[in-house]
Structure 1
């Protein structure tokens, strides 16, 4: 039976029955960020944020900057310059996705075996060079090859960095960081729209290059320094730290990181074996999350066709700036929702309520678009509701990270599998659901994606039932013993005896905010 008592996040964080009095700012900080009472540990986490979180967010920002440029380039003259026909734009997107799928498992294994601080930045350096090479493409077939290899190299970035974040941050810290990491994808996509609008206005035709070609070049100029910085700022994992990161993580920081991971029962990596792979993939966890996560990945693409609708609408048809800038409002909304969901998830001390509730806005948005209303304002509402889905996938992967915390390898394998499986489906599904020849009014597209988000919503209570009735430790390759009676915060999500109901989760969020269930301040 779940207790209404606030869970003990860390021994020295002052959360629990012996909680010290806090200032108003302390209570606010406790909700929106961390409230670690031990000054040394607080300083350590701050250093992690400055180094690891900075490079994680910048790296994911440039990944989406280079990934989103194709949509902006296509809507800004590339379609005409390279003479796209029929569904060739869909094929171009598919080539990237095929490369992304093929690179998932090998990239995840390489991240763990070679080291994140070498593999991830090296991939980023090469894909940045290839993004710049796209500016020289003379036909769509050249772009097919370039985008395939770019997808292959980008495949490691998301699961690899999630694995690194899960190796350093504790349960009460991870949700906010993972969602902020995810939110930078929206920042990158927003910035790509602004950048395309700016280069089209200021550089289109300069030195014989079109605006979309300048976008590729500018993306490369922005990405390359960040890629190189990764060799120094990615700290690898506590048990095998990156020596080039010692300028911000000292010996005592590494020792503290190892103790923290022991405290959270988060096992270090000990090397991949066939036995570990079998035990992980024969557990129910990867397969239970496969369906909702795949529905999320495919369904999330429904907002990506907003600029094609704008391009086909007489009001904006010839306004390249509007076509690129208007959708950025949706990305701004997704950033706001990312912060709201991250704070709520960590404040509640459990992930599932946000996963469940967060599925409803995109469900409604896709239902609206499936009717293709005559009023543009209603279409805008549908598209913008779809943008709010962006952070729920990150919340789910944070949940998976914590469920599989007894094995570093199991975490990497499960996250790699979910991304591989989801993007395998995403490699072909958009061609059927959103054929370019039907743009912008797709016969089945938004009906199908509405169904995907309905499946996502239904899947969450099913996963909760599985967590209550199936044992997780027996499937994990390491630490196959019963958990200690005391449970850490998000371990309640992986222990069937400690799954809080929604009422309990909401009560917790009130207490974390400094207000008990009766609206009074705790003494």
Structure 2
């Protein structure tokens, strides 16, 4: 082989068959072309092998032998069932297979310890890595605000709206350079994409340390954001390929913990660095923050990502997952109808009219665009208004401003955790989206009034992170909507994110003009409006989500009929299924064999 014996320590695509004896890497042989042919043949058959199971295609969909089916009569269905988010997404067996205390680590598919071990490993690899990655990006973003109030404004002669305009220019870089990932995401492995882009991010973070005028700072921030364009869509694409719908919000929560950690550590680090290093070697304190961020944080993150990002179950590159764990991940995706990837040769051309019609012709695309746009533009937490308000108070020194600036982000940890873990525990994302929107509107209303007691103003500022808190629920919704087609998922994710972020590139320049600091009446009004729409629009999203899941009820293990309308159970219930206890299984399937000697079997 090209790399010799040590090649096994480099990430490589895992060729894993459903049959354990056929798994593993192709070893060196005397006939190199023969080995290459074997690899190609096994790669092409990999997805087919991992989805093999006894199945029957009916008019309503495909019946599988590894899925227990619930027969459900919808006669007399209550109106309030509209608010049962998982009504059609999961059957009774799926819901009962998880104890309340094991909601973070269930084993729905295999009922085995190995499935939980897989989740433990995934959390250590991608959960904690994406936390670290998001922390690195957030730290740099927040450093810009911290540096601004730590004399960067004076050093670079920033005036008027230069602060917000520089942020807008930075956002444009991210928006423009996200678009190529519509093509890249389903075709190239994430363990290559993210580290390469991270190296560019690291370089231009270091470049900000050397910025000597506003023009150079803006150029560096633009290019920095361009290299950071990948980490949001790629991370969500990977997370959505490994986790079930009632597991993913908790893992996206780790991602957002990284964002909040950046907000907390930026102010504290800037305060410490400003105090200890300001003027050392002739460099201002705010410059040292960018230097430390690039060399000590961003650079190690790039190297670590190459080894820990596992790719996706169907094209796994992990050095740390066993063959059996990869098989379990694939079976979980089959059960949850998550199609994580297909061969490059099977992907349609990016310029196919049929593909773009499939994306933009779906009403759910536009529903999600509005949803994500409202999420972006109701975020008072990231406006910098709180820090600028602190700076306007003459009794606070620069060090005190940087220290106090972390308070809302610290509370944000609790707010995000409540929404994310609550959504997975109760299998209900919409409630936490609505509740967070209400809290954010209350905060904005107080700040619009402004002339309120000091305690009320402090309360309002400390509540601003409710605008961020439900984001894991939002992204979990989007991942579940897009689980059926990897190419459509990639295009839709990028399109939704780009459209939403593009509005965030110009709305803040109008609503959060630095000259209005510290009051920002227009900004809080805009956030209140978007926050109110965000909460109300959640019910529209819930409608489309439940409509989609009802259409896929059979794939979710639910056989629907309505006796009130004169309907009877579908004919395949009698001809192709057999009842075991309260559930139905495909005849001659593995589950039926398990119960073949049991008195529970009812023919």
- TM above 0.5, one fold? yes
Task: Supply the distance in 1 between the matched residues of 2:461 and 2:545 (Cα, whole angstroms).
Answer: 34
Deviation string 1:166-197 (CA, Å, 9 cap, x unpaired) is 10111221111012212210011111111101
Aligned to 1:267: 339
Matching residue of 1:380:
458
TM superposition shift of 1:229? 0.6
User: Which residue is 1:311 aligned to?
Assistant: 391
Shift of 1:6: 9.2
Moved over 4 A (4+): 1-15, 470-474
Distance across 1 between alignment mates of 2:93 and 2:410 = 33
Q: Separation in 1 of the partners of 2:167 and 2:558?
A: 44
For normalisation by structure 2, the TM-score amounts to: 0.73
The Cα of 1:252 is off from its aligned counterpart by 1.9
Cα distance, 1:322 vs. partner? 1.7
Q: 2:105 aligns with which of 18, 24, 34?
A: 34
Structure 1 pair 11–450 and aligned structure 2 pair: CA distance change class (3 A): closer
- Mapping for residues 210-289 of structure 1, pairs under 5 Å: 210-220=284-294, 221-242=296-317, 245-246=318-319, 248-270=320-342, 271-273=347-349, 274=352, 275-289=354-368
- Tell me the CA shift for residue 162 of structure 1: 0.6
Identify the range of structure 1 (295-304 vs 425-434) with the bigger mean alpha-carbon deviation: 295-304
Deviation digits for residues 124-182 of structure 1 (CA, Å, limit 9, x no counterpart): 11111110110111101001111111111111101110110110111221111012212
- When you count helix as a share of all residues, which structure comes out higher? 1
CA drift of 1:321 comes to 1.7
Name the CA distance, whole Å, in 2 between partners of 1:14 and 1:289: 27
Q: What is residue 378 of structure 2 aligned with on the other side?
A: 299
- Aligned residue for 2:267, secondary structure, equals helix
Whole-angstrom distance in 1 between the partners of 2:159 and 2:487: 45
What residue in structure 1 maps to residue 506 of structure 2?
428
The 1:487–1:370 alpha-carbon spacing in structure 2 relative to 1, beyond 3 Å, is: farther
Pairwise CA distance, 1:111: 3.2
Equivalent in the alignment of 1:180? 254
Contact map agreement 1:334 1:389 (CA 8 A) in 2: no
Residue 364 of structure 1 corresponds to: 442
Residue segments in structure 1 that go unaligned for 5+ positions in a row: 20-25, 475-480, 489-523
Match of 1:353 in 2: 431
Partners of 2:168 and 2:334 lie apart in 1 by: 42
Q: CA RMSD in A?
A: 2.6
- Quick one: structure 1 residues 471 and 186, their matched pair in 2 at CA, closer, same or farther if it must change by over 3 Å? closer
Distance (whole Å) between structure 2 residues aligned to residue 451 and residue 11 of structure 1: 38
Q: Which has the larger radius of gyration?
A: 2
Residue of structure 2 aligned with 1:486, choices 557, 572, 578: 557
Report the Cα distance in structure 1 between the residues aligned to 2:544 and 2:282, rounded to whole angstroms: 60
User: 1:465 maps to which residue?
Assistant: 543
Work out whether residues 405 and 411 of structure 1, in 8 Å CA contact, stay in contact via their aligned partners in 2: yes
Counterparts in 2 of 1:7 and 1:39: CA distance versus 1, 3 Å = farther
Secondary structure at 1:114 match in 2? coil
- Separation of aligned partners in 2, 1:337 and 1:41: 29
CA positional deviation for 1:463: 2.5
Q: Is the 8 A contact 2:340 2:483 kept in 1?
A: no
Q: CA deviation at 1:465?
A: 3.4
1:130 maps to: 204
Contact 2:436 2:467 in 1 (8 A): yes
Q: Is the 8 A contact 1:197 1:324 kept in 2?
A: yes
- SS of alignment partner, residue 155 of structure 1: helix
Aligned to 1:396: 474
C-alpha contact (below 8 Å) 2:372/2:500 kept by paired residues: yes
Shift of 1:232: 0.8
Residue in 2 that maps onto 1:52:
126
Q: Which residue of 2 aligns with 1:509?
A: none
1:446-503, CA deviations, whole angstroms, 9 ceiling, x for partnerless residues? 11111110111121122233445x55799xxxxxx77436259xxxxxxxxxxxxxxx
2:4 match: none
**CA drift at 1:295:** 1.8
Q: For 1:376 and 1:423, locate their aligned partners in 2 and report how far apart those are by CA, in whole Å.
A: 34
Cα distance between partner residues in 2 of 1:209 and 1:10: 59
Task: Calculate the TM-score normalised by the size of structure 1.
Answer: 0.84
Q: What residue ranges of structure 2 are gaps of 5+ in the alignment?
A: 1-76, 560-603
SS in structure 2 at match of 1:359:
helix
Assess if the C-alpha contact under 8 Å between 2:249 and 2:423 holds in 1: yes
